[in-house]
A and B are shown apart, each in its own frame.
Chain A
Amino acid sequence: MFIGILVFAVLLIAVLYPNVFTFVGSFFPAGTFSLATYVHFFETPSAREALFNSLFISTATVILSAAIGIPLAFLLHRYDFRGRRILRALASAPVVLPPLVGVFSFVFLYGESGIISRSLQIALGLDRPWPRLTGVPGILFIHAYSMYVYFFMFTSAGLDRLDAAMEEAAETLGASTAGKLWRVTLPLLAPSFVGASLVTFMSSMASFSAPLIVSGGVRVLALEIFNSKLNGDIPMAMVETVILAGSSLAVLILLRWYEGRRKYSLTGKGVSVQRKPIRSGLAKVAAGLGGTVAVVFLILPHLMVFVMSFVREGTWTTQLIPPAYTTENYIKLFSDPSFFEPIRNSLWMSVLATGVNLAWGLMATFWLRRRTGWVRRVADILIVLPWALPGTVIAIAMVQSFSSFAGSVMLLPFLYFVRNIPIVVRAIDASFQQVDPSIEEAAVSLGATSAYTIRRVVLPLVMPGAIAGSLLAFISALGEFVSSIMVYVYSNRPISIEILSQLRQFNFGTASAYGFLLIILIAITLLVGERLHGPVRDPLVP
C-alpha cells in the first residue's frame, strides 16, 4: 500500500500536476477565466505561422525520413555487398550525437562557411557556398539526418519478423517482384511505418536545437515558447505550450487509432528472407559508391566535432580548413575548475536522476503488474505522458507549476527524472514480460516467500533490462538541452548549456571538446550496456 501511494504520488505531482496547471493556467492569463490569449495567438500572423511551420516541418520530416530509412533498411536486409556490415553498424550513428552537438557540427560542415559548402562552391564553381543550411531546408536537412534512424529501425525490425513464406506464397500465386512489394510486403510492414511516423513526427514537433541554431528567422512553435518565456510573456508561453502539446497528442491519438484498426501481428515464425548477393557489375559499383557516400555522410558530423575540438581558438576565420591545432581545449576542460564544472554538473544530475528513475521504475512496475482496471489505465497514461509531450512543454509546465522552487539546483535533475520515466518504466516492463510467470510460481512452490522470490528470482532476471533502460535514460539526461535551457541556474549549468554559451562566444574549439566528450561518454555507456544486456535499444522503438 505504501508503495502504491508513493508510485501514484510521484505520477500525480511530477506528471499530472504540472501539465494540468499549465493547461488550466492558459485559460486564466490574469487570474480570471479568459480566452484572450488564445484569441491573441490565432490573431497574430507570426504565431499562426509558427504553428503551420511546426506542422509542415514535421510532416516533411516524416516523408524525408521514410524516403531514406525505408530503402536503406531494405537494402541492408535484402542484399549483400561489400561494406554492408560497416554501413549496418553506422546506420544508427546519429543516435550517439546529442541534439545540440549534431546541429553545430552540421553548421561547421554544411553552413554558410561550412567546409563541405565551401568545398562544393570551389569544386562546382558556384557564386556562393552551397548548401547554406538555413531556414526550413536547413532544419529539414538536420532532421532527416537524425530522424531517419526511426524509420530505419522500425522497418528493419519489421523485416526481421516478416516470414519469407509470405512473399513466396505471393510469388507462387503469380505476383511479380513489384506486386509482391506493393501487395504483400509493404502492407505487412504498415504497422512499422505507422510506428516510425509517430515517433518521427513527435520528435520533429519537439525539435528545438535545429530551429534554434539554423532557423534563420523561421518561426516554429517549440522555439516560440522559449522566446515568449524569455520576453516574460508567460500567458502566451502557456498558450503556445498547450497548442504544441495538443497538436502532438492529436497526431499520437490519430496514429494509434489507425494502428488499432489494422490489428494483426507478424508472427515471426518461419524463415527470414535470404540475403541476395549483388551480382551485376553496375549494381556492385552503385552499391559500393552509394554505400561509401552514405558511410561518409553518416560519420562526418562526428569526425567534424572531433577535428574541431583540436582547433586553436580564434584561428579559424576565412580558411577553408582550420589552420592551427592544439590539445589545450581538452586540457582546459579538465584543469580549469570553471570549465570542469558543467561536466561535473551533468554527471551528478544525470546519475541522481537516473538512480531515482531506476528505483522508482522498479517500484512502479512491481506494484502495477498485478493491477488491472482504471488504476492501471490511469497509471499507464501518466507514465507515457512525458514521452508524448515535447521537452519544451514539460519544462514550461514544470517551471510554472513549481515556481516557488525556481532557482533551485534540484529542479533540473527532477526534470530529467520526469522526462525519463517512460523510457525506464518501459524497459523494466519489457524485461518483466520476458520472465515466464511459472518461474515465480516454481519458486513459491519450492517454499520461497514472496519477498525472497522477488529478491532472488525476479530481480536478478529483470535487472539487466532495467539497467539497460536506465543507461538510455542516463544518456538522454547527459546530453539534455531542450528543458535544461529553461530551468538551469548558473551553478548547475550542464554541458549542453555551456556548449551553447561557448558557441556564442565563438569558442568553437572548446564547444567541440565538450561535444566530443559527450559523444565519448554516450558511446562508453552504450558499450557498457551492451556488455550487460546485449544491444541497448530505446524500448519505445523496436
Chain B
Amino acid sequence: MPHLELLHLTKSFGQTAAVRDFNITVERGEILSILGPSGCGKTTTLRMIAGLETPTSGKIHFDGKDITGLPARSRNIGLVFQNYALFPHLDVFENVAFGLRTRRVKPETAVEQRVRKALAGVRMESYERRAVHQLSGGQQQRIALARALAIEPDLLLLDEPLSNLDPALREDLRDQMRAIIRELDMTTVFVTHDQQEALSLADRIAIMESGVCRQIGSPDDVYSRPTDAFVARFLGKANVMPGEFVGLTNADLAVIRPENIRLGEGSRAGTVSKTAFEGAVVNYVVEADGQQLNVRQFHRGGPIYRVGDTVRYEIPQEGIHRIAK
C-alpha cells in the first residue's frame, strides 16, 4: 500500500486554479521533491498535505485512509516552514518541545529525552537554552527541522528548506540534510525551485508548472528523459529543437543537453554569439541554421572561443532525446 496518495487534487483561489488534478503516490521511506518555478502551485500542494489548505476537490490518502478533511493538528505531520516560523517568545528547547506539550507528553523527563534526541539528530545539542534570535540562519533551519521531528511524525514536509540561506551555506546544509533524512528513513516531501537541491536530495521528482504536474520520475529520468519541452528546458537549460534539425521528422522535438554537444570538431558549423567562462566549464551560445544552441564544455586548457568565431560542432546520436511535439 502506498504511504501517501494524492488523488485528483485541485485547489482554486477564486477564479485561478493554483493546483489542477494532481495525482501521485509516495512509498514508505521515499523522498519526493516537488520542483517548479515560483507560483507553480508547489507550496499550495504541500500546504494541502499538511492540512493548512482545504482542497477544492480531490482526495488525500494516508496509509489508505482518507485524511482530506482531517485538521492539521490531528495529522501528525511534521512541517518545516520556509521562514522556519520558530516561536520568538520561546527558547530552543521550548520550541522543540512545543509539539510534545500539545500532545501532553508526560512526565517531563520524557519530554526532555525526546527534545535532546531531536536536537542530537540535527547536531544542535548544546543550544537548548538559546533564544532563537541568537541563532544563525542555518542553525534556525536545523531547529525548525528538530521541532518537526520531535513529534515523531508519520510524514515530513519541507517548504523550500534551503532557500533562506546564503549559497555557500546552502551546499553544506544540503549534505547535512541528506544525511539526517536518510538516517531517519522517513517519508519526506519537499518543495523547492532549486533543481540542484531536488536532483541531489530526492528519490523521485515531480515537476510542476502553472498548477499542473508535468512529469514524475527519478532524478535521472526527469533530467535525461524529459517527457515534454517545459521539463527539458527547466532542468539544465536543454536545447529543444525542431526534429528536422537533427534529422528527425518535424512531428517530434529533439532535446539536446548543452553538455552533450561537442565543439571544435564534426560535420556542423556555427557562429559563437555568447561566451561565459565559469572556471571548470565554459557556456556558449552557438548560432547555426537560424537556431540558437546552448553549449556547455568542460574547460581542459584548450582554446576558449570568442564571440564571432566560426566553430565546428557535432551532436552525437546518443545525445539526442526525442519527445512528441
Chain A residues within CB distance 8 Å of chain B: 163, 165-166, 168-176, 179, 183-184, 187-188, 190, 262, 264-267, 269-270
Contacts and interface: CB of A to CB of B under 8 A. Distances in A.
Given A163-B83, A179-B102, A264-B133, A172 B73 contact: yes
5 contacts: A169-B81, A169-B86, A171-B52, A171-B71, A172-B148
Nearest to B159: A165
A30 to B, nearest CB: 54
A172 B88 contact: no
B70 to A, nearest CB: 12
A265 B85 contact: no
Contact of B50 (A172, A264, A269): A172
B191 interface: no
Contacts of A264: 88-89, 131, 133
B89 A175 contact: no
Contacts of B41: none
Interface in B70-92: 71-79, 81-83, 85-89
B147 A188 contact: no
B99 A174 contact: yes
Contacts of A176: 73, 102
Nearest to A176: B73
Contact of B83 (A174, A183, A269): A269
B211 interface: no
A184 to B, nearest CB: 6
A213 B234 CA distance: 75
A171 B83 CA distance: 16
A266 B86 CA distance: 11
A171 B89 contact: no
B219 interface: no
A169 B95 CA distance: 10
Contacts of A190: 89
Nearest to B81: A165
Nearest to A264: B88
Contact of A262 (B50, B51, B72, B89): B89
Contacts of B71: 171
Given A168-B52, A173-B102, A176-B73, A188 B83 contact: no
Given A172-B52, A174-B73, A166 B85 contact: yes
Which has the most chain B C-beta neighbours within 10 Å: A168, A176, A187? A168
User: Which 3 A-B pairs give the minimum distances between C-beta atoms?
Assistant: A173-B99, A165-B85, A264-B88
A187 B89 contact: yes
A271 to B, nearest CB: 10
A173 B98 CA distance: 7
A174 B151 contact: yes
A176 B151 CA distance: 15
Contacts of B147: 169, 173
B98 A270 contact: no
Given A165-B82, A165-B85, A188-B87, 7 more contacts: A171-B73, A172-B52, A174-B103, A183-B101, A264-B88, A264-B133, A267-B88
B89 A168 contact: no
Contacts of B76: 174
Which has the most chain A C-beta neighbours within 10 Å: B71, B82, B88, B151? B88
A265 B88 contact: yes
A166 B72 CA distance: 14
B151 A188 contact: no
A169 B85 contact: yes
A364 to B, nearest CB: 33
Contacts of A170: 87, 98, 102
B79 A175 contact: no
Given A190-B89, A264-B131, A175 B83 contact: no
Nearest to B47: A168
Which has the most chain B C-beta neighbours within 10 Å: A172, A184, A187, A264? A172
B73 A175 contact: yes
Given A184-B87, A188-B88, A188-B89, A168 B103 contact: no
Which has the most chain A C-beta neighbours within 10 Å: B52, B75, B89? B89
Contacts of A165: 81-83, 85
Nearest to B75: A172
A276 to B, nearest CB: 12
A176 B51 CA distance: 13
Interface string B47-77: 0001110000000000000000001111111
A187 B89 CA distance: 7
Interface in B166-224: none
A536 to B, nearest CB: 30
A44 B86 CA distance: 55
A264 B75 CA distance: 31
B78 A172 contact: yes
A166 B73 CA distance: 14
